[in-house]
Amino acid sequence: MTEQVHRTSDTPPIPRAVQAKVVIRSAWVQASLNYAGMQNLGRLFCLVPVACWLKLERSEWPDFIRRHLGMFNGNPFISPLGIGALARMEADHKLGRAPLREGVIERFSERLSAPLGAVGDELFWAAVRPQMVMLGVLIALLSGVWGPIVFLLGFTVWQAIYRWKTFSWGWASGQQVASVLRDRRMRAPAHWAGLVAAMCAGGALVLLWMRVKHGAGTVPSWLLGLVFVLATTGGAVCVHRRRSATWALVGGVAWGLLACVGQGLLTR
């Protein structure tokens, strides 16, 4: 992805220590959510390590703070994409590569908020979360306490990777950050997550049905295999047609329900 974005050769790469501070702080980007500027204070909190790295003069701090008190909002898990772009703009301004005109940061932040929210919601709330929830449910039915542990660890790893990556993409692209949001690879997990969610949903429904019907009896391997194949096929069709992962999840639930009904009819 980074090959497709614009780079300025005179802009130094941001140190990993600074990037790590920004990414860690981004976990609290919504801590000061307010009606006036939404996540503006959280964004400013994240950018402070960048300002310190750029060694802003005492006289430059008031303007820096004022620029980042405007409207900023988006999905918290990919908000580092916008923060990285803003950090790059501040670096270019400090180094004289692209001096900031009055109001540029404020307008850029406000216009970036809507796509950050839309892409992030599609990726996490409609894809990654259903995937990890269904995976956690299936593992919980099989091994108990490991289900919620897998869910928490899996979701934490997903969002941590995206926080780090999106900040890097935002820093590399600067004001051309729209090219990252348009890149298909940015949204690819939102489609492929449906495969995992569909398989887990079908398998979880079969396990629940069998436990209610026959106590803690074992589930026939042919039935789990059938649900696996049908759910995977349905998820693959949704992915091929570029449907949301939610549709793949619904498909997996539907195949699981049909398998349960069929098993119930066969055992009567």
What per-residue confidence (pLDDT) applies to 7?
Answer: 46
Mean pLDDT throughout 227-250? 61
What per-residue confidence (pLDDT) applies to 262?
Answer: 61
Higher pLDDT pick, 76 / 260: 76
What per-residue confidence (pLDDT) applies to 49?
Answer: 94
Mean pLDDT throughout 214-236? 61
For the chain, the residue count is 268
What are the extents of the domains in the chain? 2-182, 188-266
Question: 86 pLDDT exceeds 70?
Answer: yes
CA-CA-CA-CA torsion for 9, 20, 120, 177, nearest 10 degrees? -10
In terms of pTM, does the model score above 0.75?
no
What per-residue confidence (pLDDT) applies to 2?
Answer: 42
Higher pLDDT pick, 265 / 177: 177
41 pLDDT band, cuts 50/70/90, is very high
What is the per-residue pLDDT across 110-165, written as a single tens digit (0 to 9) for each?
Answer: 888 888 888 888 788 877 777 777 777 777 777 777 878 888 888 888 889 889 98
Lowest pLDDT segment from 95-104, 172-181, 241-250 = 241-250
Return d(Cα 69, Cα 91) in angstroms, integer: 18
Which of 109, 11, 91, 79 is CA-nearest to residue 53?
A: 91
Lowest pLDDT segment from 200-204, 243-247, 250-254 = 243-247
In angstroms, the Cα distances linking 115 to 30, 118, 120, 166 are 17, 5, 8, 14
18 pLDDT band, cuts 50/70/90, is very high
Tracing tokens 């892409």 back to the chain, one arrives at 119
What per-residue confidence (pLDDT) applies to 205?
Answer: 66
Question: 231 pLDDT exceeds 90?
Answer: no
Q: How high is the mean pLDDT of the chain?
A: 77
Start-to-end CA distance of the chain, whole Å, equals 56
